[in-house]
Structure 1
């Protein structure tokens, strides 16, 4: 019996410890995990640790599931329950561009360390961490070693486009991909306080390993803007500097080099991840590690930033909660909403920038002067940072929007983004503000599967509009108010109109034969002297119009009862107040 116990003890002590190194850690420092290995690793964590939950969160265009990882110290992975406990939610998304995979590898290590290291565990006492391991599953399966021509490793990686060749970081509003539709539902379930989207940058050469895009401050309500600039950003910038990985704002600039005119802030419209999340008063970050640095320090920079961010949120949780609550209250009473922005070139801060001198030398290809950055000539220089934007288009908040049920693609996207909709209980004619599209410009080439409209000009006309039983009403007294305004107001940068969801109203369905309508138009002018007077005045003012019989005939047609009143009429109606017969 004694010999048996000794043998068992020896076997137990000789048993190997579980190897929790990630695929990246098992590599040579210049390799990244595959999608299969990534999910398998999280499955191991889920099986070993009750604090970690891995589950499917929807479908992607490749047909593979989108996964979410939830880390809660008490194992609670239910969003409503987590919220009821007063916890802050930090949401990390990786691999939207799978050729930029540092965040994928960093988050795997971080998830493990949060359950294995007591010091890190304490940071999650009042925080639930949600991780999308790889968002663009489709692109991660399309693995290669060449498409990131400007990038220094890893040895192989995924492709930027998804299975439909969409850039998913342009798809948050239009939601053409199943990936984006799954994300919208997941985001709305969690309603995170802070969101992070991990990337690798292109562009200039400089000394930094990490650059950062924070939610554009001009778009935030004052309480959130004050908290972001006064507490959260100083904490993560200071923490990264202490870890010998100083950061700078994302290196976007005009001119030949960053120091020529200074850096400019990034205005992320709602097509982008953080542009979408800002519509719901969630602070967003896009981390951009520098493409020319070696892969290992890029992974470390992502790990350090994510860990420092969680640490800062844990320390500042009360301030963050108060700021976000104040922003939601401000949204509820806000009467004017901006729809488009421009950079304020009169407002600039000074930042210390660690760059390399940009110089010229003859090109080996063309013989013409070409730019290069001289790494033997580093500098530390104060340069301007323009990070204030001013609204160029604003709109007054309506009480509600009325949306005919025929526009099912739009209604589906509203539901996915958490919009509360009600339906008319009977056929109803309402007098309301109606938009007519006066003018717009359309891109000559497709952009992410659409011909995008810009410079939209509208005419507003109060008129009776017939709605059918079952048409939809979206009241603005709900958390999705800002989302509704920026998607349903046609002149907004990323409105559903801009993306072409309402293009059929731009096409005329009935017209006339000129030889027939000539007599009808002449009779109309005889019976309406005021109309004749308007026509003569236009001819006097516009010689080209006066010289064109077709233009004059078309003008008369458009003033006649024969012209279809729905041509160029935007079908979503602004309702400014009063009772509606809703279910």
Structure 2
């Protein structure tokens, strides 16, 4: 009998130890590995029927992306969950594996909620254990030179050396496609992407980047600014972790003031905004000890769960109203600028900064004196305004050849219709008249910007199987901010359509000289345009080759598809022959 008791006791101790995370077993100095994290979640899912570990798609590392779902009702079908009017909270961890607080905090939080039987009734919690699987295997203790622990951690770039928090539109990685599959399958109302900050030294362990309030739909923005963010701040204050907005200093130190962060759709929270999901990027402070950073992340995630459970009906209703409003919305902003005249006062707890000689160079260098904490009022600029806006068309028409664009639209729950027969359609066509391109690659692309357009009304031939995207959908923002070429993170700016910028035909000058002579002789308008151009531009008037090219490009010999953006705008609601 005594032997049986000892064996039972030993079994209980082993089971308890098995539920400890690698972070806890290391004395809170180490972060888990990917392999240990997945094994840990598999064990939780086997132990508790309220947990299920799912896999989606693939990643560049050859492994699927995992999703742990915590459901008090043991329902793991997102369609049934939405029908039962429950909220979905999605937590993403390890997009930058060198910033792993969320990885460890989520493991402990999932265990504690399951063990205590405290899963929320009206909220289903979805956790991506470790998004950048590739980078997590590239494990060192030196790649984040300024960070205080853990002992070893992963690398920011994935196995293609992509920063995955710049990949949510261009989708160069399989990781991004798998994430978008998860996101658009589960359609969360609230999204949290856990990070660690860089930059100035200050007293706070946790800083916060919410979805930029001015970019968010007004219904969601009102709830975000008046309820959700204030309650997150007050909740963390009570738990011993006062927060501050992400310290994006306009000068060398925070005393110069900080600005809000404008996240374009390439970033996770910029992407989720396109789907009317409220997003957050919590950033713990790199110089605080790792155990404090994990604890602050754990408590912040608890705070989200508490508030989303409390406001579950309101959050669901807000999302429904926002989706309806966006489907009917007529004007959309494509670029944003900071309003430098509207400023807020912000109480800030920092450390005094100073200058002292560098032991490396002898020049003066910045330092912060932690023996001299202060509380000061600093300035915050956090009002953004539209810089470029556009009126939506009735629909966009996309030739079926652009299959990568079609696939990404479908992945993002965009409804597409196919033409049933060949037909000519009156559309507005964009011609790319000017743009700038980076001189160095950025995330594998030579990114375009400052796009200028000429719009022409044309009757274009389309074919059976070409796609029509009506702009009357809850995902209108995703449609417009990817398909309008002047949008910051449009498919055009990410080089999806660069082949249209090349001419496929040209002319032999000595032959076309005679053709141009005949054109000018028989076309008074063309001759008048040429003379006007010569009068207005002295350099052009001296350049014979430029004048010949002008005649060519204003003749029927010039290819009409050169610089013509292939996604046309249908601006009149005509009846189309659709499948």
- Which TM-score band applies after superposition, normalised by the shorter structure? over 0.9
Local SS of the residue matching 2:380: strand
Local SS of the residue matching 1:219: coil
**Alignment correspondent of 1:57:** 56
**Alignment correspondent of 1:43:** 42
2:107 is equivalent to residue 111 of structure 1: no
In structure 2, how many angstroms separate the alpha carbons of the residues matched to 1:291 and 1:10? 45
Distance apart, 1:318 and its partner CA: 2.0
How big is each residue's C-alpha offset from its partner over 1:521-578, in whole Å with a ceiling of 9 and x where there is no partner?
Answer: 1111111122212211211111111111111111111011100010000000111222
Choose the corresponding residue for 1:191, options 183, 187, 191.
187
1:411-422 equivalence runs, <5 A:
411-422=406-417
Choose the corresponding residue for 1:395, options 390, 396, 410.
390
**Alignment correspondent of 1:446:** 441
**Alignment correspondent of 2:467:** 472
Query: Which stretch shows the higher mean deviation, 570-579 or 335-344?
Result: 570-579
Distance apart, 1:15 and its partner CA: 4.2
Choose the corresponding residue for 1:177, options 167, 173, 177.
173
Q: How many residues align?
A: 575
In structure 1, how many angstroms separate the alpha carbons of the residues matched to 2:305 and 2:12? 33
Distance apart, 1:384 and its partner CA: 1.4
In structure 1, how many angstroms separate the alpha carbons of the residues matched to 2:411 and 2:12? 47
With the length of structure 2 as denominator, give the TM-score of the two structures.
Answer: 0.98
With the length of structure 1 as denominator, give the TM-score of the two structures.
Answer: 0.97
* Contact 2:207/2:246, CA 8 A, preserved across alignment: yes
2:404 is equivalent to residue 409 of structure 1: yes
**Alignment correspondent of 1:331:** 326
Distance apart, 1:13 and its partner CA: 5.4
In structure 2, how many angstroms separate the alpha carbons of the residues matched to 1:324 and 1:362? 55
Choose the corresponding residue for 1:386, options 381, 384, 397.
381
Query: Which stretch shows the higher mean deviation, 416-425 or 527-536?
Result: 527-536
Choose the corresponding residue for 2:277, options 279, 282, 290.
282
In structure 1, how many angstroms separate the alpha carbons of the residues matched to 2:4 and 2:250? 70
2:237 is equivalent to residue 241 of structure 1: yes
**Alignment correspondent of 1:431:** 426
In structure 1, how many angstroms separate the alpha carbons of the residues matched to 2:475 and 2:578? 19
Query: Which stretch shows the higher mean deviation, 124-133 or 468-477?
Result: 468-477
* Contact 1:58/1:67, CA 8 A, preserved across alignment: no
Local SS of the residue matching 2:194: strand
2:163 is equivalent to residue 164 of structure 1: no
Distance apart, 1:517 and its partner CA: 0.9
Which runs of at least 4 in structure 1 moved beyond 6 Å after TM superposition?
none
The alignment yields a C-alpha RMSD, in angstroms, of 1.2
Distance apart, 1:28 and its partner CA: 2.2
Choose the corresponding residue for 1:132, options 106, 115, 128.
128
Query: Which stretch shows the higher mean deviation, 525-534 or 296-305?
Result: 525-534
Local SS of the residue matching 2:57: strand
In structure 1, how many angstroms separate the alpha carbons of the residues matched to 2:553 and 2:8? 90
In structure 1, how many angstroms separate the alpha carbons of the residues matched to 2:511 and 2:210? 62
1:283-322 equivalence runs, <5 A:
283-322=278-317
In structure 2, how many angstroms separate the alpha carbons of the residues matched to 1:46 and 1:290? 32
**Alignment correspondent of 2:140:** 144
How big is each residue's C-alpha offset from its partner over 1:163-185, in whole Å with a ceiling of 9 and x where there is no partner?
Answer: 11100000001111000001111
Local SS of the residue matching 1:59: coil
In structure 2, how many angstroms separate the alpha carbons of the residues matched to 1:488 and 1:223? 25
Unaligned 5+ runs, structure 1: none
How big is each residue's C-alpha offset from its partner over 1:392-423, in whole Å with a ceiling of 9 and x where there is no partner?
Answer: 11011111111001111111111111111111
* Contact 1:35/1:134, CA 8 A, preserved across alignment: yes
How big is each residue's C-alpha offset from its partner over 1:246-294, in whole Å with a ceiling of 9 and x where there is no partner?
Answer: 110011121111111x110111100000000011110000010011111
Q: Could you say if the C-alpha distance between residues 526 and 13 of structure 1 is closer, same or farther in structure 2, counting changes exceeding 3 Å?
A: closer
* Contact 2:202/2:351, CA 8 A, preserved across alignment: yes
Choose the corresponding residue for 1:503, options 486, 498, 502.
498
1:545-556 equivalence runs, <5 A:
545-556=540-551
